[in-house]
Amino acid sequence: MRLMLRVGYPAVYPAEMLAGFPDGIELIPLPDDLDYDIDIDVWIPDPYPARAMRLFPRLHGVRLVLSLMAGTEWMPGTVGPHVTICSGRGAHNISTAEWTLTAILVMLKHFPFFMDVQRSRAWKRRFEASAHYAEMTGDARPLYPPVMLEELTGKTVLLVGHGAIGQEIERMLAPFRVELVRVARRMRTSPEVHPGSELDRLIPQAQVIVLILPLTPESRHLMGARQLSLMQQGALLVNAARGPIVDTDALVEALHSGRIRAALDVTDPEPLPEDHPLWSCPNLLITPHVGGSSPEFGPRSLRNAAEELRRYLKGEPLKNVVQLAV
């Protein structure tokens, strides 16, 4: 009888990164091009879903999946209902929250424009920022000296999603003394969290809207044409969650209208084809889904997996269960 718990993990991780895993397990490296069937009890999938899904048909006996990522939307349909799934909740809170804060500041400080100024080597072009600000925000006041950037401090930020990453974003926003409005699936009172049913009412109040919620049937196209039309003139939409939460066609139209601006780490479709109209939209910053990809992500996510394995071996409740085997 086999006594050791067999744990399959992506072979791209060197053995030293798994040094903190508990005793009582057999670690099985799984190459991306695995060409034979293998029995394992616990699967730690590759962080890239396409690679993981190609590999899964070769795996037999899987009872527990320990994701390295917070997002697990592809997993239930791949492994079925008879497998317990744990997310990597907490693994990229810091890096994704830092990306979000950076994206907000980059757009409010007009850094994409000033990168163009740098490339043009034309110092006096800085005065173009004032006209850009007035056109984007509709602020036609005769301001002097000319406006060349904006401040985050004092703005109203609508945070859509208040899980672990959303709470980390809130912590990082605190020094800027923003007026924070929280929205999540479930209403809470301490701190005040509004239910998703109030989103349309809250959108017009915000100068910055941050999306950091999981992709579900309910959240798909949560930001559609109607919601985008409710945004203030010049408001900033930041999507650090999943691409399909925003209706891409509606976003392209809204950006070309000059009413709003956006910063995206995720898109729909993804990867974004090189001929997609989103690339050429005005007032838009795109990064190619890199928000969680810091040097600390791999070690941190593997520490999470090791902790879940210790609990599993001791028969203790797992921390980040998103699907319990039936």
Q: Which of 242, 259, 261, 300 is catalytic?
A: 242
Specify whether 261 is catalytic: no
Compute the half-sphere exposure of residue 197: CA atoms within 13 Å on the CB side of its CA: 2
Q: Within its chain, how far is the Cα of 81 from the centroid?
A: 25
**H-helix or E-strand containing 84?**
strand 84-86
Residue 278 CB partners (closer than 8 Å, separation 6+): 248, 251, 252, 267, 272, 284, 286
For 57, the token pair is 């048909």
Specify whether 308 is catalytic: no
| Contact yes or no for 261/237 (Cβ under 8 A) | yes
d(CA 225, CA 248): 9
Encoded amino acid at 324, one letter:
L
Phi, psi of 318 (to 5 degrees): -80, 150
Q: Which segments within 170-318 are labelled E, that is strand?
A: 179-184, 188-189, 192-195, 208-211, 236-239, 261-264, 284-286
d(CA 316, CA 318): 6
Determine the straight-line distance between the first and last CA of the chain, rounded to whole angstroms.
Answer: 25
Determine how many CB atoms are found less than 10 A away from the CB of residue 3: 6
d(CA 207, CA 107): 12
Specify whether 73 is catalytic: no
CA distances to 90, 170, 301 from 50, rounded to whole Å, are 22, 32, 19
Q: Which of 58, 289, 303, 310 is catalytic?
A: 289
d(CA 167, CA 291): 16
Which residues carry out catalysis?
242, 270, 289
